[in-house]
Amino acid sequence: MVVGEIAEGVDLLVVGAGPAGYAAALRGAQLGRDVTLVDRDGEAGVGGVCLRVGCIPSKALIEFADVLHRANALGRGGLAAGGVTADLAGFQRHKAGIVAGLTGGVRGLLRDAGVPLVGGTLRFTRPDQAVVETTAGQARFFEFQDVVLATGSRPVSLPSLPFDGITVLDSTGALALDALPSSVAVVGAGYIGVELGTALAKLGVPVTIVEQAEHLLPGVERALSRPVSRRLAELGVDLLTAATARAHADGVLTVERGGEQVAVKAEKVIVAVGRQPNTDQLGLDRLGVTAGSDGLLPVGPDRLVRRHVAAIGDITPGPALAHKGYAEAGVAVENLSGRRAAFQPAAIPAVVFSDPEIATVGLTAAEAAEQGIEVAMSSLPMAANGRAMTIGAQHGTVQLVTDRGSGVVLGVHLVGPHASELIAEATLALEMGATAEDLAETIHVHPSVSEHLEEAARATVGRPINSPSQRPTAAD
């Protein structure tokens, strides 16, 4: 021990106050552990990227933009809105209220659970000790029994387009805009880029999306992403695929495509090319832990990196999703507390809050076939759904993938309105080992978008009601 160093004893130390971290802290308190939570931003960091500058603010912006766009577009349906306009400064106040309410609620839960929060930057000094350089400029040493790492991730920057917070923005900067730019280029057509680009286009901003891959939403089946591509075109978004953003100056983004230079007008550039785990400045070597070349920490089903050390959330393999972090938190803390638990979900749902929304869980037909499973797939266009038509959102489809022999549901893939809500039923079906017959015989509300899943199941078992009889197709 360093002379003059006085270490505070901690039973369970949790590093990071995002969704995974605060969930771990609360579960630890429920199990009777003496928990200390550390976050580099202190009280202001509660909720992490998701609640403060990511998931929640982005969905608020998406809803704001969609309401405005729909109000102005429903003239053909008899709605005389009289030219609704956007006040982005007013939106920022509205968004701040939402964030304050949610993060304040989490702080209240931590307070009620008796979990103290320490603000500052943490580095490990040995396998059972860490030092926190507090926001007040002090050094506090903590000697812990167990530790949960939940430090999250940050946006990836591009050497050619470094973030300056003025003209070149990350997603956080884009969500903080208090005035509409005259033009925007979004670099990266993953889910973040598509969501931000769609919202800004609905607010009337000319948007260009630049993507290195051959199509938007790389990793998503083309059958699912095509409706989104078509909708972006309807909204006036220019999509440049197989293209690379090179530089930005004087309101112009230079893009290389097909060996040629393309000039894209862009007052603001939003770089959304991915996120990287926050594991590089923790002093993990002192903890006896080594991150992979991708910065991720290898964990088992118990979420332990080694004895007394767990890792959860964006710093572990798998999708960087808040709901995955929530689920991992309980597993990690229970194992550190002498209980047996395993993170072995049948599937983890994923959603793109695009227009239309994409929600997917389980195997695609192609993935199942690659595993040697003989599959059947029913695919029904959303245009056949009455509820979707009444809300003017009939773009999309429902795909149901089942094992041809047993009828067990292997995957559900939705493109359309409220897909983010409908995917919960599909995920439960996979977790429960439900069959197409189970879904077909479950009475769904009419009229609703959810009944389209029932109809897809009915088509699979050969008893459709509101769609033509069809023979479920096998994977190619």
Q: Where are the domains of the chain?
A: 7-155+276-336, 168-273, 350-460
CA distance 422 to 359: 8
Contact by Cβ (8 Å): 309, 149: yes
Q: What are φ and ψ of residue 277, in 5° steps? A: -70, 145
For the domain 168-273, what is the CATH code?
3.50.50.60
pLDDT by residue (tens digit) across 234-284? 999 999 999 999 999 999 999 999 999 999 999 999 999 999 999 999 999
Q: What are φ and ψ of residue 197, in 5° steps? A: -65, -40
In 3D space, the residue among 118, 147, 113 whose CA is nearest the CA of residue 41 turns out to be 118
Instruction: State the DSSP string of 328-355.
Output: HHHHHHHHHTT-------S---EEE--S
Q: Give the model's pLDDT for residue 469.
A: 66
* Token reading at 411: 């995957």
Q: Give the model's pLDDT for residue 467.
A: 80
* Token reading at 369: 């076939």
Longest distance between any two alpha carbons in the chain, whole Å = 80
CB neighbours of residue 98 within 10 Å: 14
Q: Give the model's pLDDT for residue 71.
A: 86
One-letter amino acid at 213 equals A
Q: Give the model's pLDDT for residue 474.
A: 55
End-to-end CA distance of the chain: 64
Contact by Cβ (8 Å): 275, 314: yes
SS3 32: coil
Beta bridge partners of 134: 120
CA distance 137 to 391: 55
CA distance 312 to 329: 6
Q: Give the model's pLDDT for residue 4.
A: 46
Beta bridge partners of 398: 380, 414
CA distance 274 to 292: 17
Fold classification of 350-460 is Enolase-like; domain 1 (3.30.390)
94 is catalytic: no
What is the full per-residue pLDDT of the chain (476 aa) written as tens digits? Answer: 444 478 999 999 999 999 999 999 999 999 999 999 999 999 999 999 999 999 999 999 999 999 999 888 776 667 776 677 899 999 999 999 999 999 999 999 999 999 999 999 999 999 999 999 998 889 999 999 999 999 999 999 999 999 999 999 999 999 999 999 999 999 999 999 999 999 999 999 999 999 999 999 999 999 999 999 999 999 999 999 999 999 999 999 999 999 999 999 999 999 999 999 999 999 999 999 999 999 999 999 999 999 999 999 999 999 999 999 999 999 999 999 999 999 999 999 999 999 999 999 999 999 999 999 999 999 999 998 999 999 888 889 999 999 999 999 999 999 999 999 999 999 999 999 999 999 999 999 999 999 999 999 999 999 999 887 655 555 54
Q: Do domains 7-155+276-336 and 168-273 have the same CATH topology?
A: yes
CA distance 59 to 39: 24
Contact by Cβ (8 Å): 108, 14: no
User: Of the listed 69, 444, 446, 452, which one is catalytic?
Assistant: 446
In 3D space, the residue among 372, 373, 377, 394 whose CA is nearest the CA of residue 385 turns out to be 394
In 3D space, the residue among 386, 379, 351, 397 whose CA is nearest the CA of residue 457 turns out to be 379
Q: Give the model's pLDDT for residue 407.
A: 97
Alpha helices in 348-406 (DSSP H): 365-370, 386-390
Contact by Cβ (8 Å): 161, 190: no
One-letter amino acid at 75 equals G
* Per CATH, domain 7-155+276-336 is 3.30.565.10: no
Q: Give the model's pLDDT for residue 75.
A: 67
The residues, ordered by sequence, that sit 6+ positions from 200 with a Cβ below 8 Å of its Cβ are 65, 180, 181, 184, 207
